Amino acid sequence: MTYCVAIRLDAGLVFLSDSRTNAGLDHIASFRKMMIYEKPGDRFMVLLSGGNLSISQSVREILQVEKIDGANDGQGREPITIWNCASLFDAARILGSAVRRVYAQDGPALKQSGIDFNASFILGGQIGSEAMRLFLVYSPGNFIEATRETPYFQIGESKYGKPILDRVITPATPLDEAAKCALVSMDSTLKSNLSVGLPLDLLVYRAGALQSEDFVCIDEGNPYFQMIRSTWGQRLREVFEGIDDPQWDITDAGVAAHPLRAPSGRFPPMKKITAADEKIV
């Protein structure tokens, strides 16, 4: 399986992906799920992929040569590709076109073999003076864009890492803090799901740079990630132990600060009693 997350902030973008792929319990391998498309000073894009590995690898290869409107239009205009498109929106359209092209080629054969056409992608970055943008592209090739209300996307095993992102991430979050949050999100996923695994690829992009050197591959020996794993678990236990145990009712000693059995407008649960206890009223 997969867990990838990308975050769009005022200060830049954060991308994090695992590398675990498997085709059964006894066939586990590692493949990179992050691809960087960079023309320094002109454009910088990052693609994260999840789902069927053969589909995502085919899409990544085709993406570099895929064209959309403007090709062979009789007016001498250069075909539009990810290397010359004017916006990230156009780049997302090209990615969607590449996904549909792979589906047209491989979809019927996969269906005959009982295999779903399953692939999803996150594409983010910046082109020229355009603002940074982040897109989530689905298997049919359609896509949505991140907003200030929803500043991050996940693909793969998203449920384990989502709570920390929801509680921490806002557009104003600093880049380093967002990178830390993404790593905690990944650690929570690694803890609960064996289909996600190390090593990890982490990239931080600073707004307007149109290139990035802030990239690291994180394996089992990475000192910062080891610290994250031990500290996060310890602090969670400390916070949990610091929360009061439930007090069911108001007692003779006084009023509980946070009584569990508080007045409610809901009806009590249904209760079945034995025939011997039933009374005719």
pLDDT (tens digit, 9 = 90+) per residue, 83-112?
999 999 999 999 999 999 999 999 999 999
> Among 59-73, 93-107, 141-155, which stretch is predicted with the lowest mean pLDDT?
59-73
CA distance 87 to 179: 25
pTM: 0.90
CA distance 46 to 128: 15
Unique residue bearing structure tokens 């997350």: 5
Above 70 in pLDDT, residue 71?
Answer: no
Residue 262 pLDDT level (bands cut at 50, 70, 90): confident
Unique residue bearing structure tokens 């236990």: 237
Domains with residue ranges and CATH for the chain: 3-237 (3.60.20.10)
What residue type is 250 in one-letter code? I
Burial of residue 84, with CB atoms counted within 10 A of its CB: 0-12 exposed, 13-18 middle, 19 or more buried: middle
What residue type is 22 in one-letter code? N
Give the tens place of pLDDT for each residue, 33-55. Answer: 999 999 999 999 999 999 999 99
Of all residues in the chain, what percent are helix, strand and coil, respectively (each to 5)?
30, 25, 45
